[in-house]
Structure 1
Amino acid sequence: MALTSSQRYFNRELSWLQFNTRVMEEARNKSVPLLERLRFLSISASNLDEFYMVRVAGLRTQMLAGMNAPSFDGLTPARQLDKIAKQVDKLIEAQERCWVTLRSLLATRKISVLAVKDLDDEALVELRERFESQILPLLSPLCVDAAHPFPFLSNLSLGLVASLTRTEPEDEQAFALVPVPSHVPRFLQLAAGSKKRDYVMIEDVIGHFLPDLFPDFEVNSTGLFRITRDSDIAIDEEAEDLVQHFEFLLKERRRGRVIRLELNEGIDEELRHFLIESFECWDEDIQDADYLGMVDLKGLIDSGRHDLLFPPFTARFPERIRDYDGNHFAAIAAKDILVHHPYEEFDVVIQFLRQAARDPDVVVIKQTLYRTSDDSPIVRALIDAAESGKSVTALVEIQARFDEASNLKFARDLERAGVQVVYGLLGFKTHAKVSLVIRREGDRLQTYTHLGTGNYHALNAKIYTDLALFTADPVIGADVGKLFNYVTSSSRPRNMEKLALAPHGLRGKLFEYIDVEIANAQAGKPSGIWAKLNALVDQGVIDKLYEASQAGVPIDLVVRGICCLRPGVEGLSDTIRVKSIVGRYLEHSRIVAFGNGHALPSENAKLFMSSADWMPRNLDRRIETLVPIESPTVHDQVLDQIMVANLMDTQNSWELQPSGKYARRKLEDGETSFSAHQYFMDNPSLSGRGQALKTSRPQELPDPPRFKPRLVS
C-alpha cells in the first residue's frame, strides 16, 4: 500500500518544536546542575522567539497572500499554523511548570525571586531608593489618548499596560504604557553583596510604583505584555546597491508587523482588547502565560554560584603544533591536523591567521566570514595582514540572519584597511567556512587551508562542537582557490578534484555515494551510511535514504534538530535509526561516512566533513563545502572517535520513534552510561597529539553499535 506524504515525512516546523522541547527537557534533567537547567530553559525560550520571528512569520505571510500550496509532508500553511499553535501551547505550559520547580529549588539554595508585596519594610525602603535613583530616570511612561497616539515598540519589547482614571479636574478614562527598558536587568538584586541572593523582577517593581508615574490618575487595572515582530527579510535581487539595500531592510525589520502578542494570565479584558486593537494582531497568535520573556531567566545564572554550574573545562591546544615550536605552517605541512571544538581551542584558528599576517613569505590570504564575534580577532588579523602589504580578500556574507548589521560594520572596517571585500553571489548565501593562505616557499607557492563546519566565532567555539581541518594538500588548496574565484567572479567552478560544492555538485556527490552503498547491499556486500547533522529536511535526500534502506543498507543518523525522515517504517525505512544529542555542548559538526564495501567503521570508509546540513537551502541556495577526510590519523579521529562516540552516547541521547516522538535513551541490561561530551573532555584528539601519541592514546571506546537487520515480511 502506497504511503501518503504525512506517512513518509515529518513536518519541518513541528519537528523543530520537538527539538526545542528536548532542549527544555534538559531544564528538567536532575543530573544537570541547577543553574545550567535554568540556562536550558532560557535557551528554549530564546529559540521560540526566533521561531516566531522567522518561521511562523513566513507561514503567516504565505497565508495572507493566499498561498495554499502544501509542504512536502502535505500540510497547508494554515494547517501548519494550527498545529504549531497547539504544540506551542503545550511547550509554554511545560516551560512554566519547569520555572515553578526551578524557582522553588533555587530558593533552597539561597537564590530567591520574591514578590514586591512580600518584602519587609527595610527591603521596601531600599527598593524605593533604588527605583528613584536607578530605574525611574530610564522610564518613559506613555499616556495613550487623542494627543498621544499609540507608540511604536520594538521587537521583543516587554511592557506594562494600565487603565487609568484622571482624578483632576474630572473623571477621564485613559490607557497608559510603560515600556521596560531593554538595558535594565530583568532581575534586580536586593542587598547586593550579601550571601543570600534575593531578587525582584523589574516589571513587579515598576508596577508597585506605577502610581508615582501617573500622579494625576487613579490606576484601575494593570497588565503585562510582550510582542514579537516579523523579522524575516525579503531581498530585492534587482537592487542596484546590495549594501544600501540591506541597510534599508534592517531599518524596516525593526518595524515588522506584530506576529505574537504575549499577555499575563488573567489580564483585564479591557486591557486585552486595547492591546490587540493597538498592535493590530487580531489574527495573530495571542498567548496567555504566568511569566513572559523566559529568555531573561539567564540573568539569574551569573549570580556567583559556581557550585551550581557545570564544572569548568579548559580547552586543549594541539600538542603537535607545540612540537613545531608554534609554527602552524610547519605542523600542517608535516600532516593534516583536525581541531575538535570546543574540546580544543579556537585560538588555534586565530593564531594560524595571525602567523599568516606576520609572515613575510605569505603573499595572499582569502577568508569567508559568515558569523563572527564582536571585536573579532579574525577581522583584526585580516586588517593587520592588509596593512602589512599582503593581498587579502574577505568574503563577508551580509545575509547571515541577525548578524547583517555587524557584518556590514566589519566589511567597512576591512575595506578601510585595504582588504578586498566581496559580498558573494546574489541569491546564494556563502555558508562555507574557509581560509586560504598562499605562502612563497623557495621557487613555488604553497597553499595552507582551513576548512570548518562552524563559524569563525570565538565565543560560539566554546559551546558548539565543530571540526576544523588544516591541510597543506595542494589539490584541496587549488579547489578552495576555485571556490573563491567563483564567489568573486561569478564564474562557475570547473574541474573540482576533491571538494564538492553546493549548489553545483554537492547533492549529486551525496547521491553518487549513496548509490554505491545501494549497489553493494544489493550485491550482498557489506554497506553502511553514518551521518551527523543539525537538520535533515531535503525531500530528495530523504527519498534516496529510503531507497538505500529498502535495498538493505544499515543507516545510522545523528540529527540534533529538525528531522523530516520517518525511521523504522516497515517497507520504507526499516534499516534507518535516528538519534538526537542534546547536552552540555551544542552539536554542530556535520559528518558523513559511507562503508565503501565494508561494514562501518572501517579504515576504507569514504569519510567527509561538511558545512552543509541536508536541507534544500544548503544544497540548492548556498555556497557549501563537502570535504574528504583522507589523512589516516584524521580519518581515525573523525570516524572511530567522534562518530562512534556520538553513536554510543546514552547520557545525552534521544531516539526518534516512527510515530515522530522522541524517547530519551534508556540503558539496556549490562549497559553503562556513556557521555560523548564527557569522553572528549577527558581524552585528547588523535591528530593533535603529535609526539605524545607515541606514548599514550585515548581510552578505547566500546565497540560501535552494530545494526541488527529487521525481518521484513
Structure 2
Amino acid sequence: MSILPQASNDHGDDGLPPDVDLPDAEERYTNRELSWLSFNDRVLAEAVRARYPLLERLRFLSISGSNLDEFVMIRVAGLVGQVQRGIERVSSDGLTPSQQLSDISERLDRIATAQQKAWRDLRSELAENGIRIVDTNRVDSATYRWLKEHFLNEIMPVITPQAIDPAHPFPFVANRGMGLLFTLTRQSDGEQIIEMVLIPAALRRFIRVPGEEAIYISIENLICRFAGKMFPGYTIEGDGAFRVLRDSDIEIEEEAEDLVRTFRSAIQRRRRGQVIQLELEEDFDPVAERTLRQQLGLHGATVIKTDGMIGIEGLDRIVSEDRPDLKFDSYSPRYPERILEHDGDCFSAIREKDIVIHHPYESFEVVVDFIRQAAADPDVVAIKQALYRAGNQSAVINALIAAAEAGKTVTAVVELKARFDEEQNLVWASKLERAGVQVVYGFVELKTHAKVAMVVRREGDGFRTYCHFGTGNYHPVTTKIYTDLSFFTADPKFGRDAAKLFNFVTGYVEPRSLNVLSVSPIGLRQELYALIDREIENAKAGRPAAIWMKCNQVTDTGMIDRLYAASAAGVEVQMVVRGICALRPGIPGLSENIRVKSIIGRFLEHSRIYAFANGYKLPSERARVLISSADLMSRNLDRRVEAMVPIRNRTVHDQVLQQVLLANLLDTEQSWELQPNGDYERVEPGEQPFNCHRYFMTNPSLSGRGGALVASRVPKLALRSAKRVKNRSDD
C-alpha cells in the first residue's frame, strides 16, 4: 500500500472551466513518440548546417545517433512490450501501440537514410580538411605496416573468435554491442564454418594512426582487413559487422524490500534485455545473416541494413581531434563578479542578496564551491543534498565526503532510478556511506528529481539556512553544455520549505503549509493550474494576460488542455520547448494564441522557467516568475518529487524574465517554430538576426555582476527586436 498522496488525474478535461469545449483527443495532441523523432530531426539538421564548424557538425551527427539509440532502447522497447503482452492502450492522440510502431518505423528509416547521407558528405569534407577516415586498401605502405602491427600487438590479443556450431553456445551480445561474423572455408577439406568476433567495449571505435596527419580507421574495418591472421588455414568467403540494441528500461516492483539489491539485479537484467533492433551492413554475408537472425531470436525486433556506417554515435571519437579551427571558438565560463567581490565567500555573497547562476555561461564551480566551503567551514553544522545525476568524476560528491569526514551532519538523497546512471549512483552511494554520510534512496514509487541543497550554518545566537535550487543536475560534464539556472538564497522561508522537502523524501513526512515552494506530486500541478486560471480570469476581465514558458518537454494532457483554455480566453501563450511537444499550436478556435518554438544550437537548452503576466503586460516587474526541475509531463507532475521555486528578488527576477527568458523568445538564428500539423520550420533570421547563446556568452548576468560591472551596460532586450514576437505580445 502506498503512503504517498493520491496524484491528480491528468487525463481528459478534469478540472477545466465549464465553458471550455475541446475537440476530440486526436485533434488536440501530437503523438509523443513522433514529436520526439521530430526533435532528433532538428538535431540532425544541425549536422548539415554549413555555418557550423566541421567537427561541430560531426558532433551533432553523433548526438543524433546516441539520441536514437536511447529512443529505441526505451520508447520503442516499451511499445514492443505492449504489443507482445496484448496491451491495446491508446496514446493521447488515439494510436494503438502497433500503429505507433508502424509510424515510428517509417520515420526511423528516413532518419537513418539522412544520417548516412550526412556522414558521407562530412567524411568527404573532413578529408578535404586533413582528417581522413580510411580502410586499409587506401593507405600508404608505412601506414599499412603500422596498422598491421597495431592489430597483431594491441587488438588480436584482446578479441576472441568463436565458432558458431552445436559444440559452441552462441555468445551473448551485450546491449549496444558490436560484432563481426565471418563465413570461412577450411582449406584442408572444404568444410564451411561461421566464426563470431565480439568487439570489446574497451576498444576504441576509431583508431588514430600516429603522426601529424589525422588518419582514422574503424575497429571493425581493421579487424576485417587482418582477419586472415586470426584464421590461418581458412579462406574468408564473407564477413559483416552488426550491432544490437536491447530493451533497457528498468521495472521495479513497488513492494521491493531492498531498493539497492533490487536495482543491482535489475541492471543485470537490463544487460540481457530483449533485442529490439539489429543493425547490419548492407553487404552482410547472407549465410552469416541467417545464423545471426536465428540465434538472436528477433521477436518483434527491427532489422536495419545500411550501406554506410553502423553505430553513428561512435563518431564522437573523431570529434575529439585537436583541430580548434574546425570547432566552436573556445569559451570559458565566467565566475560571478559579485561572489569575487566577497573574496570568493559564497555565503557572504548569498547573505547580501539572492543570486542566480546561469550555466554554462557562468561557472558550475560556484555550486561546487558552495559545498566545498560548507565542508571546510567550522560554523556549518549540517548539509543536505538531493543527487539525481552527478557524473563519474564529481567534485560535489567529494565535497560531501569531506564534510562528513570533518564531522558535519551530511544527508544525501541518491536517486537510483536516474536512467543509465543507476550503476554510477550505486557507486557514489557506497562511497558516501563509507565516509559517514547518511544516504537515503527516496521512494520506490517516485523518482526524486528535484535539484536541492541546503546548508545550515551557525551565525550569532542562532542558525541560518542557505539553499541552492537548480533546474539541472550536479553533473560536471553536462553543466558545461546544458543551459541551466542555479538559484541561491538565504531567505528563511526557502530554508524552512527545503527542510520540509527533505523530510518528505527521507521520512515520508508530507510537507504542509509550504511558504514558497511547490512540490510534486503534492501541489505543483495545482499551483500551475491556478496560475493559468488566473491569466484566464484576467483575460476575461480585459486585463493584460500572457504566459511565457520554457521547458524541455510538454506531454501532459491536463496541462495542455489548460493552455488551450487559456488560448480560447485570449491569453497570449509563448513557449520555448526544446524536445517533445504534444500540444498543437496555431489551430483556430483551439490554440490560435499559442506559439511554440524550439532552440537547437551550441548549448542544450535545459532550464525550466514559468512566467505569468499577473495582470500586467509582459515583461513586467510584477509578473509571477518561477523556476523548476519539472517539465510539463505527467511523470514530473505526478510520479516524481520536483520543486518549483518563485523568484522574488528584483534583480534575479529581471535576470530570469527579461534576460534569460526574453532572449530565448527573441532568438532567430537557432529557432524552429512548431506548426499546427506537428512539423517544425526553421525561423528566418531576418534583417537583424539574434542568437541567444551568443548574447549570453558576451554579456554578464544581472544578478552575478558586481559593483565594478554595474556601470557597464548590458544590452536591454525588447520585444520590438523581433517582429514575429512583437506581433504576438504587443497587440
TM over 0.5, shorter chain: yes
Alignment equivalent of 1:131, drawn from 129, 151, 154: 151
CA distance in 2, matches of 1:470, 1:340: 12
Tell me how far 1:701 sits from its aligned partner: 2.2
2:59 is the alignment partner of 1:42: no
Q: For residue 513 of structure 1, what is the amino acid of its counterpart?
A: L
Q: The residue matched to 1:563 in structure 2 has which SS?
A: coil
2:80 is the alignment partner of 1:60: yes
CA distance in 1, matches of 2:228, 2:706: 69
Q: For residue 688 of structure 1, what is the amino acid of its counterpart?
A: G
Aligned to 1:567: 585
Q: The residue matched to 1:619 in structure 2 has which SS?
A: helix
Aligned to 1:299: 317
The answer on whether the counterparts of 1:328 and 1:352 sit within 8 Å (CA) in structure 2 is: yes
Q: TM-score, normalised by structure 2?
A: 0.95
Alignment equivalent of 1:276, drawn from 293, 296, 299: 293
Alignment equivalent of 1:533, drawn from 540, 543, 551: 551
2:196 is the alignment partner of 1:177: yes
The answer on whether the counterparts of 2:521 and 2:641 sit within 8 Å (CA) in structure 1 is: yes
The answer on whether the counterparts of 2:719 and 2:726 sit within 8 Å (CA) in structure 1 is: no
Q: For residue 211 of structure 1, what is the amino acid of its counterpart?
A: G
The answer on whether the counterparts of 2:386 and 2:451 sit within 8 Å (CA) in structure 1 is: yes
Aligned to 1:330: 348
CA distance in 1, matches of 2:144, 2:82: 51
Moved more, 23-32 or 197-206: 197-206
- Unaligned 5+ residue runs, structure 2? 1-20
Q: The residue matched to 1:259 in structure 2 has which SS?
A: strand
Aligned to 1:516: 534
CA distance in 1, matches of 2:705, 2:139: 58
- Measured against aligned partners, the alpha-carbon deviations of 1:504-552 in whole angstroms (never above 9, x if no partner) come to 0000000000000000001111010000000000000000000000001
Q: The residue matched to 1:678 in structure 2 has which SS?
A: helix
CA distance in 2, matches of 1:347, 1:691: 21
The answer on whether the counterparts of 1:276 and 1:282 sit within 8 Å (CA) in structure 2 is: no
2:717 is the alignment partner of 1:698: no
Tell me how far 1:217 sits from its aligned partner: 2.4
Moved more, 355-364 or 559-568: 355-364
Aligned to 1:592: 610
Q: For residue 208 of structure 2, what is the amino acid of its counterpart?
A: Q
2:204 is the alignment partner of 1:188: no
Aligned to 1:674: 690
The answer on whether the counterparts of 1:566 and 1:660 sit within 8 Å (CA) in structure 2 is: yes
Tell me how far 1:602 sits from its aligned partner: 0.6
Aligned to 2:106: 86
The answer on whether the counterparts of 1:167 and 1:216 sit within 8 Å (CA) in structure 2 is: yes
Aligned to 2:328: 310
Q: The residue matched to 1:137 in structure 2 has which SS?
A: coil
Aligned to 1:481: 499
Tell me how far 1:201 sits from its aligned partner: 1.7
- Measured against aligned partners, the alpha-carbon deviations of 1:396-422 in whole angstroms (never above 9, x if no partner) come to 101111111111111111111111110
Aligned to 1:450: 468
- Measured against aligned partners, the alpha-carbon deviations of 1:191-221 in whole angstroms (never above 9, x if no partner) come to x122x21222221111111122122322211
Tell me how far 1:707 sits from its aligned partner: 5.5
The answer on whether the counterparts of 2:80 and 2:300 sit within 8 Å (CA) in structure 1 is: no
Instruction: Give the direction of change, closer, same or farther, for the CA distance of 1:603–1:645 in structure 2 (3 Å limit).
Output: same
Tell me how far 1:248 sits from its aligned partner: 0.9
Tell me how far 1:591 sits from its aligned partner: 0.1
Matches within 5 A, 1:13-24: 13-24=33-44
CA distance in 1, matches of 2:320, 2:265: 37
Aligned to 1:414: 432
Moved more, 671-680 or 699-708: 699-708
2:369 is the alignment partner of 1:383: no
Instruction: Give the direction of change, closer, same or farther, for the CA distance of 1:216–1:609 in structure 2 (3 Å limit).
Output: same
How many residues of Structure 1 are paired with residues of Structure 2 in the alignment? 705
Tell me how far 1:49 sits from its aligned partner: 0.6
Q: For residue 712 of structure 2, what is the amino acid of its counterpart?
A: S
- Measured against aligned partners, the alpha-carbon deviations of 1:641-661 in whole angstroms (never above 9, x if no partner) come to 001100000111000011111
- Measured against aligned partners, the alpha-carbon deviations of 1:98-117 in whole angstroms (never above 9, x if no partner) come to 00110011111011111222
Matches within 5 A, 1:625-644: 625-644=643-662
The percent of aligned pairs where both chains have the same amino acid is 51
- Once superposed, what is the RMSD of the aligned Cα atoms? 1.3
- Measured against aligned partners, the alpha-carbon deviations of 1:372-427 in whole angstroms (never above 9, x if no partner) come to 02231111111111111111111010111111111111111111111111001120
The answer on whether the counterparts of 2:183 and 2:285 sit within 8 Å (CA) in structure 1 is: no
CA distance in 2, matches of 1:282, 1:479: 50
Aligned to 1:461: 479
The answer on whether the counterparts of 1:686 and 1:693 sit within 8 Å (CA) in structure 2 is: no
Q: For residue 79 of structure 1, what is the amino acid of its counterpart?
A: Q
2:231 is the alignment partner of 1:214: yes
2:262 is the alignment partner of 1:245: yes
Aligned to 1:25: 45
Moved more, 467-476 or 249-258: 249-258
CA distance in 1, matches of 2:43, 2:428: 32
Tell me how far 1:693 sits from its aligned partner: 4.0
CA distance in 2, matches of 1:81, 1:150: 29
Aligned to 1:152: 172
- Unaligned 5+ residue runs, structure 1? none
CA distance in 2, matches of 1:560, 1:486: 31
CA distance in 2, matches of 1:381, 1:205: 44
CA distance in 2, matches of 1:523, 1:634: 30
